[in-house]
Structure 1
Amino acid sequence: MGELMLVRHGETAWSRSGRHTGLTDIPLTPEGETQAKAVAELLDGRTFALALTSPLGRARHTAELAGITGAQLEPDLVEWDYGGYEGITTNEIRERVPGWVLWRDGVVPGDAAHPGESIVDVGRRVDRVLDRVRPVLAAGEDAVLIAHGHLLRVLTARWLGLPPADGRLFRLDTARLSTLGYEREQPVLLGWNVS
């Protein structure tokens, strides 16, 4: 069985300040570009039968800087649409909604550009991505996904057969590499948050 590598995009100004960055296309900071280049060293010598990237610029640029060639755009890999919480920090949200937790309470509707998305919807999207990846892994080949923090955490939960909200259990920093795979036929976590 092959392995599924996950790459979170490099640092952006909003990820550095803790702002929820869903569909707003924020570029990498110079530090984020340096982080993305460091991922290339972690992937040195790896080849991928399938490489998929979020269409958002921060993920695409990370893929390029990490030396991942031929990555196909996959719309289902965009980050969680945070709706009215787009661009706002958790502390700012908690000033309005004390005790708020994204994984439990979700998001509020936003505008036409950011209408908001439930965690169940994010789970459905990552399930479609995993359906696309599994045949590649079953053929003994490797795949790589370049995407976003919360999205990849939900994807990991779903890979392990957990509900989408259990993505809360997997902290994922910027420009980190994680690996999903199998122990015999059982989906497992092989490596997490590696830099």
Structure 2
Amino acid sequence: MGKLILIRHGETDLNKAGVYFGKLDPELNCVGKSQGEKTRDVLENLKINYDNIYTSDLKRASETAQLVNYKNLEINYSSKLQELHFGIFEGYSYEQLKKIYPKELEFAEKNWENYNYKTGESVKELQERAVNFVEQELDLKKDNIIVTHWGVINTLLSYFFSKNLESYWKYSVNNGGIVIIEFLEDFPILKGLNIGG
């Protein structure tokens, strides 16, 4: 019986600004660093064990991984755990997009599963990338931490607990929040959602 422990990175100034960003690579701000430290304390105090720790190679996630890694294990970095690439939407707020890319925004809202933001990727492609990483690169009989992004976490939750992307929008994981999925003979059980977040 193994656990998949998903941790959302701490806050950045771009989170605070409310813009679309996936590939953009900001560092944690002061709040984000505090969230990482709090998450470390939660993991340690609840005695949440882990055999391996993986992280997106983007700064906000990798910095969070370094903060939460209370066992000081070697951290494994992977671009496969990066956030959704928002393409032409990167760095813009919703209000700005309504003026700059109104047609693209309307199409993205109607066809959110498949729209690739012209130079980015679709949520469906993100889910395939995240699921392939978990199923092909992890030993799910062990306890694995993945420090990653909102989109990655929600595509995985939707994959394991509904059909495809059916429940993608139904989970709320805050910056620094912990999600625990336990595998009982390959059957996923949600043991915790947004712990500490």
TM surpasses 0.5: yes
Any residues of structure 2 matched to 1:28-177 within 5 Å, and which?
Answer: 28-44=28-44, 45-68=47-70, 69-95=73-99, 96=102, 97-98=105-106, 101=109, 103-104=112-113, 106-109=115-118, 115-132=119-136, 136-138=139-141, 141-160=142-161, 162-164=163-165, 166-177=167-178
Contact 1:93–1:100 (Cα < 8 Å) also in 2: no
Deviation at 1:100, TM superposition (A): 5.2
Deviates more, 1:48-57 or 1:61-70: 61-70
Structure 1: any 5+ residue segments left out of the alignment?
110-114
Name the amino acid aligned to 1:70. E
Over 3 Å counting, the alpha-carbon distance change for 1:91 and 1:189 in structure 2 is farther
1:184 Cα offset (Å) = 5.9
CA distance in 1, matches of 2:156, 2:122: 14
* CA deviation map 1:34-77 (0-9, x unaligned): 00100001111333222110001111100111125312012210
- Alpha-carbon contact 1:54-1:147 (below 8 Å) kept: yes
**Structure 2 residue 4 is matched with structure 1 residue 4:** yes
Which one is further off, 91-100 or 60-69? 91-100
Alignment partner of 1:145: what SS?
A: strand
- CA separation in 2, counterparts of 1:120 and 1:70? 31
Offset of 1:93 from its aligned partner? 2.8
Distance 1:171 1:89 in 2: 20
**Partner Cα separation in structure 2 for residue 91 and residue 184 of structure 1:** 47
Residue pair 1:51, 1:70 contacting (<8 A) in 2 also: yes
Give unmatched runs, 5+ long, in structure 2. none
Task: Name the amino acid aligned to 2:20.
Answer: H
Displacement, 1:105?
Answer: 6.5
Cα distance change on mapping 1:64 and 1:180 into 2, 3 Å: same
Q: CA RMSD in A?
A: 2.2
Q: Note if contact 1:119-1:165 (Cα within 8 Å) is conserved in structure 2.
A: no
One-letter amino acid of the structure 1 residue matched with residue 117 of structure 2? V
Q: What is the total number of aligned residue pairs between the two structures?
A: 187
For 1:27, the equivalent position in structure 2 comes to 27
Measured after TM superposition, the shift of residue 186 of structure 1 is 2.6
Structure 1: which amino acid aligns with 2:115? Answer: G
1:182 aligns with 2:183: yes
SS at match of 2:11: coil
Q: CA deviation at 1:126?
A: 0.9
Q: Matched residues, percent identical?
A: 22
- Which stretch has the larger CA shift, 12-21 or 32-41? 12-21
How far apart are the structure 1 equivalents of 2:107 and 2:172? 19
Judged with a 3 Å threshold, the aligned counterparts in structure 2 of structure 1 residues 105 and 75 are, in CA distance, closer, same or farther, namely closer
Does structure 2 retain, via aligned residues, the 8 Å contact 1:94–1:100?
A: no
